[in-house]
């Protein structure tokens, strides 16, 4: 399979917001978008997006994982970016219609169809730095995908950044491209200097998240993760793992921890990243002040493997969907 996110289905779903109203959505062949050079998004980064997956089961039907939750989060992101907020039924129907048209292009599980709804401001006005875009385009891309990380190892190495934040506090829980742009430079620097795969941002010593995923610590009895606030993305996979873990007897401990506490906890707890693209991926070591610190024995831990399988079993139809997370297409 091609590298994650580089292969696309041949159709796209689109709707537009003009004259204070959303158009009907439609599916058309995938082609470049036509944008005026003065489009708001090109100058003032008025954009937000989502990422989630659809799976094709043995019965030939597709199931979209946690569609309502992702739609609600995108609405929240749109409001945060002061973009026209798409109606939930409009966005849901765009996703469902596109998936229905692409069922034959969904690879067998655990691979999937990655779905990327995107909303961009298209108002033609380079003088609108302090004004929202009153026009917008909403589209949904579909991409057959396998694993996100291609690191050649069974675990990841994270650089612990104890000064800088991933992004600004007011946009921390918004899924917008600017947050990823802000994390890109530090992540590339960490790869070049330390061979790290990601940066774990811990501004002023407060352990938050990486540039692409939430961060969790797991033992045989508990999961420790930062409580939800405005500084980081409220991941659907994070929420799914916590709920499945609670179902399986783990104690969920949402609390703030410092870098010093983290370095002690990784002696006994597994460390892992959670996200739609990565699912649940183990961390083998941390780099802090130039020193590499092993997470337990540096190998994938049994609890990470167990919870990853529990999530994938629900997604792929190997375990019952007791939480009502799947939308059948």
Q: Report the sign of the C-alpha dihedral through residues 71, 113, 5, 65, in that order.
A: positive
The residues, ordered by sequence, that sit 6+ positions from 181 with a Cβ below 8 Å of its Cβ are: none
My answer on whether 222 and 297 are in the same domain is yes
Instruction: In whole angstroms, give the CA distance from residue 176 to residue 78.
Output: 9
Chain segment 164-175, per-residue pLDDT in tens? 989 888 888 999
pTM tops 0.75: yes
My answer on whether 93 and 118 are in the same domain is yes
* R_g of the chain, CA atoms, integer Å: 20
User: Is position 303 within any domain?
Assistant: yes
Decide if 275 contacts 223 (C-beta within 8 A): no
Single out the residue in 89, 110, 145 at which a domain terminates: 145
My answer on whether 163 and 265 are in the same domain is yes
Nearest to 140 by CA among 183, 90, 84: 90
Is there a catalytic annotation at residue 175? yes
**What pLDDT does residue 124 have?**
97
CATH number of the domain enclosing 232: 3.20.10.10
pLDDT tops 50 at residue 322: yes
pLDDT tops 60 at residue 152: no
User: Is position 4 within any domain?
Assistant: no
State percent of the chain over pLDDT 90.
89
Chain segment 263-286, per-residue pLDDT in tens? 999 999 999 999 998 889 999 999
My answer on whether 96 and 164 are in the same domain is no
My answer on whether 132 and 30 are in the same domain is yes
Instruction: In whole angstroms, give the CA distance from residue 103 to residue 25.
Output: 19
Give the confidence band of 110 by pLDDT, cuts at 50, 70, 90.
confident
**What pLDDT does residue 151 have?**
46
Instruction: Specify the DSSP class assigned to residue 144.
Output: E
The full DSSP string for 44-72 is H--EEE--EEEEE-TTS-EEEETHHHHHH
Task: Pull the structure tokens for residue 174.
Answer: 């918004």
Whether residue 110 has a cis bond before it, omega within 30° of 0: yes
My answer on whether 258 and 291 are in the same domain is yes
My answer on whether 138 and 163 are in the same domain is no
Decide if 276 contacts 51 (C-beta within 8 A): yes
Instruction: In whole angstroms, give the CA distance from residue 19 to residue 90.
Output: 17
pLDDT tops 80 at residue 260: yes
Single out the residue in 116, 145, 174 at which a domain terminates: 145
Decide if 270 contacts 303 (C-beta within 8 A): yes
Question: Which residues does residue 274 pair with via DSSP β-bridges, in sequence order?
Answer: 214, 280
**What pLDDT does residue 10 have?**
95
**What pLDDT does residue 5 have?**
79
Burial track 14-48 (b if 16+ CB lie within 10 A, e otherwise)? bbbbeeeebeebebeeeeeeeeeeebbbbebebbb
User: Is position 244 within any domain?
Assistant: yes
Task: Pull the structure tokens for residue 289.
Answer: 């002040």
Decide if 199 contacts 223 (C-beta within 8 A): no
**What pLDDT does residue 285 have?**
97
CATH number of the domain enclosing 75: 3.30.470.10
My answer on whether 171 and 139 are in the same domain is no
Element (H, E) at 22: strand 21-22
My answer on whether 139 and 161 are in the same domain is no
Structural domains of the chain, count: 2
pLDDT tops 70 at residue 234: yes
Find the catalytic residue in 53, 61, 76, 175: 175
My answer on whether 275 and 199 are in the same domain is yes
Question: Which SS3 state, helix, strand or coil, does residue 119 take?
Answer: strand
Task: Pull the structure tokens for residue 281.
Answer: 């991926």
Range of the domain at 118: 11-145
């Amino acid at each position: 399979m091609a590298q994650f996110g580089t292969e696309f289905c041949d159709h796209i779903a689109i709707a537009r917001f003009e004259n204070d109203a959303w158009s009907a959505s439609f599916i058309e062949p995938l082609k470049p978008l036509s944008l005026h050079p003065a489009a708001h998004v090109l100058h003032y980064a008025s954009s937000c997006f989502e990422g989630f997956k659809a799976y094709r089961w043995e019965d030939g039907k597709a199931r979209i994982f946690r569609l309502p939750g992702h739609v609600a989060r995108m609405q929240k992101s749109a409001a945060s970016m002061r973009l026209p907020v798409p109606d939930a039924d409009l966005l849901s129907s765009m996703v469902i219609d596109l998936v229905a048209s692409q069922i034959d292009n969904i690879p067998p599980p655990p691979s999937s169809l990655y779905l990327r709804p995107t909303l961009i401001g298209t108002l033609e006005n380079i003088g609108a730095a302090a004004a929202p875009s009153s026009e917008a385009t909403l589209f949904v891309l579909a991409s057959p995908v396998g694993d996100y990380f291609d690191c050649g190892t069974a675990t990841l190495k994270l650089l612990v950044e104890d000064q800088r934040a991933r992004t600004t506090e007011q946009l921390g829980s918004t899924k917008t491209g600017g947050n990823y742009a802000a994390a890109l430079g530090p992540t590339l620097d960490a790869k070049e200097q330390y061979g790290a795969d990601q940066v774990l941002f811990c501004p002023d010593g407060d352990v938050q998240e990486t540039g692409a995923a939430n961060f969790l610590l797991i033992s045989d009895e508990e999961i420790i993760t930062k409580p939800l606030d405005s500084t980081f993305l409220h991941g659907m996979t994070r929420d799914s793992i916590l709920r499945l873990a609670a179902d399986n007897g783990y104690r969920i401990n949402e609390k703030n921890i410092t870098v010093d506490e983290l370095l002690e906890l990784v002696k006994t707890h597994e460390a892992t990243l959670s996200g739609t693209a990565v699912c649940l991926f183990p961390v083998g070591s941390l780099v802090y002040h130039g020193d590499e610190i092993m997470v337990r024995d540096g190998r994938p831990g049994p609890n990470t493997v167990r919870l990853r399988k529990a999530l994938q079993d629900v997604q792929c139809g190997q375990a019952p969907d007791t939480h009502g997370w799947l939308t059948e297409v």
